[in-house]
């Protein structure tokens, strides 16, 4: 096997453009962490089962461990490091601190990015598995605790900060949907 299978790609991460030469086997997660020093996104399982690596890719939440870096060529990537606006924490980040929405903090970067992406999905009217009325012309689903829990279930937290995370999302949802 040879190792000369590399590709040149462009990634726009948190507003900065990076030109990279990546091993074609490299995941977006490893490109961010090992290639660009963005160690905010975490590797909890490396197979899309825990959500700790969640980032926003062109505004949509993805598990960056199952996204090849070459497939993200040209994309806008937002990691947890890019959520705060010029050092000013977003309402969701502040709520995580105030309500203690984490303990060890390892899943937190993924929970935060996932919640931002989830709120955008909700604002766009997407239903979830617990949405009662999923008919195309049905009403936009009300974002209650059950909806948040269902939509956030791809992000595991072993410390068990779930109740505080759900509260933080619900308390800031309206403000986050505006600031997004």
> Which positions touch other proteins (CB under 8 A)?
1-3, 23, 25-26, 30, 33-34, 37-47, 49-50, 52, 79-81, 83-84, 87-89, 93-94, 96-98, 100, 102-109, 112, 145, 148-150, 152-166
Task: Quote the CA–CA distance of 88 and 91 in Å, as a whole number.
Answer: 9
> Given the complex with other proteins, which of 7 and 103 has the nearer CB atom?
103
> Given the complex with other proteins, which of 75 and 118 has the nearer CB atom?
118
> Given the complex with other proteins, which of 81 and 177 has the nearer CB atom?
81
Task: Quote the CA–CA distance of 78 and 57 in Å, as a whole number.
Answer: 7
**Least distance to other proteins, CB of residue 116, Å:** 12
**Least distance to other proteins, CB of residue 62, Å:** 17
For 121, the token pair is 């999905």
**Least distance to other proteins, CB of residue 179, Å:** 15
Token pair 């999923």 in the structure block, residue: 134
Task: Quote the CA–CA distance of 44 and 46 in Å, as a whole number.
Answer: 6
Residue 28 has, within 13 A of its CA and on its CB side, a CA count of 30
> Given the complex with other proteins, which of 25 and 60 has the nearer CB atom?
25
Q: How far apart are the first and last CA of the chain?
A: 46
**Least distance to other proteins, CB of residue 52, Å:** 6
Contact (CB, 8 A) for 102 and 142: no
């Amino acid at each position: 096997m040879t190792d000369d299978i590399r590709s040149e790609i462009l990634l726009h991460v948190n507003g900065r453009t990076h030109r990279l030469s990546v091993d074609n086997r490299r995941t977006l997660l490893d490109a961010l962490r090992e290639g660009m020093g963005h160690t905010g996104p975490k590797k909890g399982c490396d197979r899309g089962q825990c959500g700790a690596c969640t980032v926003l890719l062109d505004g949509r939440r993805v598990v960056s461990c199952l996204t090849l870096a070459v497939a993200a060529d040209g994309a806008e990537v937002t990691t947890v490091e890019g959520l705060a606006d010029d050092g000013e924490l977003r309402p969701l980040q502040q709520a995580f601190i105030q309500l203690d929405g984490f303990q060890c903090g390892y899943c937190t970067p993924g929970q935060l990015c996932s919640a931002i992406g989830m709120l955008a999905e909700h604002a766009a009217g997407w239903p979830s598995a617990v949405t009662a009325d999923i008919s195309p012309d049905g009403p936009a689903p009300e974002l209650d605790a059950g909806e948040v829990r269902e939509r956030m279930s791809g992000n595991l937290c072993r410390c068990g900060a779930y109740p505080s995370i759900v509260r933080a999302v619900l308390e800031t949802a309206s403000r986050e949907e505006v600031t997004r």
